[in-house]
Amino acid sequence: MWSNLCALVGTLTITFGVSLTGVHSNAFTSQKQQPKMTTLRTVIFLSSARTSAPMWGGDARLGDRVSNWVQAHLSERASKVGDEDVTHEVTVFDPIEVFGAGGALAHSGAQMSTPTFFTKDVPEGAKAMGEKIEQADAIICITAEYNHSVPPGLSGMLNHFGGSKFKCKPSGIITYSSSPWGGSRASIALQPILHELGSLPVSRMVHVPSVAELIKESGEWEQEDHRMKGQLAGMLDQLEWMAVAMKSQKEKSGVF
């Protein structure tokens, strides 16, 4: 009888062990097959509305090189925040188009004749632009430096909309210029605007000097291993971390 009982216990133990191992194995496999995917709705604001090249030669707008680089990088970027795989869905607001004929803010202009929050009679284009900003998870500003500040094309776009459209989402700042300083002084002027709107800028920024010497018109770098190129990935690491955290909290409790 004792031998029969031992045999029975041994059989039960073995059977339980196999069953338990099988359950754990299946759960682990299932988790590996279903990674969590997060697509951040990222809005890029350009700054310069220049359409004429300087008399000494060069691009009408150096920012196009920087914008092409940033957009290409975002389209190819595959990053991870915690257990989430992060990608970007990008919308670009260009002041040449936004303030140009038929543009979203053409009725008001960069001088802000009619801010959207001053009236209930908002044109459809401006309304759609405001909705895109409000739905965004992250903001990126690519700005030139005009007299140690930002161009009116950028400040005009941002200031047309109240903080309710921008709050509870992080922002990243990218500056550029033909000088050795990379437009960095413009970032000082831009930060208080973003703070006031509630789109808190991350601490890491991107400053691109001597743009025409470093970046081709296509957005490709002349030297792929140039040390300045790595700035973008570092800024995006911070921006994505903040965006995922804020997005998660908004889904739980809404905005303040």
CATH of the domain at 139: 3.40.50.360
Confidence of residue 2 (pLDDT cuts 50, 70, 90): very low
Q: Is residue 30 part of a domain?
A: no
pLDDT digits (tens, 9 = 90+) for 38-97: 999 999 999 999 999 999 999 999 999 999 999 999 999 999 999 999 999 999 999 999
Range of the domain at 138: 36-251
Q: Are strands 171-176 and 36-45 parallel, antiparallel or unpaired?
A: unpaired
Please give the pLDDT value at position 108: 97
Confidence of residue 252 (pLDDT cuts 50, 70, 90): very high
Please give the pLDDT value at position 28: 47
Q: Is residue 15 part of a domain?
A: no
Please give the pLDDT value at position 158: 98
Give how many domains the chain has, as a whole number.
1
pLDDT digits (tens, 9 = 90+) for 178-191: 999 999 999 999 99
Please give the pLDDT value at position 246: 98
Q: Is residue 181 part of a domain?
A: yes
- Where is pLDDT greater, at 219 or 31? 219
Q: Is the pLDDT of residue 6 over 70?
A: no
Confidence of residue 239 (pLDDT cuts 50, 70, 90): very high
Q: Is the pLDDT of residue 24 over 80?
A: no
Please give the pLDDT value at position 214: 98
Q: Is residue 80 part of a domain?
A: yes
Confidence of residue 32 (pLDDT cuts 50, 70, 90): low
3-state helix/strand/coil string of 98-136: HCCCCCCCCCCCCCCCCCHHHCCCCCHHHHHHHHHHHHC
In percent, the amount of the chain with pLDDT more than 90 equals: 86
Q: How far apart are CA 80 and CA 61, in angstroms?
A: 34
Q: Is residue 13 part of a domain?
A: no
DSSP secondary structure letter of residue 207: E
Residue 216 to residues 3, 43, 181, 190: CA-CA distances in angstroms?
Answer: 83, 23, 19, 26
Please give the pLDDT value at position 18: 40
pLDDT digits (tens, 9 = 90+) for 137-171: 999 999 999 999 999 999 999 999 999 999 999 99
pLDDT digits (tens, 9 = 90+) for 90-143: 999 999 999 999 999 999 999 999 999 999 999 999 999 999 999 999 999 999
Q: Is residue 233 part of a domain?
A: yes
Please give the pLDDT value at position 12: 41
Q: Is residue 120 part of a domain?
A: yes
Supply angle C-alpha 189, 192, 198, rounded to 5. 140
- Where is pLDDT greater, at 109 or 33? 109
Please give the pLDDT value at position 31: 52
Contact between 174 and 187 under an 8 Å Cβ cutoff? The reply is no
Please give the pLDDT value at position 35: 78
Q: Is residue 126 part of a domain?
A: yes
Quote the radius of gyration of the chain (alpha carbons, Å).
Answer: 25
Question: Model's pTM, two decimal places?
Answer: 0.87
Mean pLDDT computed over every residue of the chain: 90
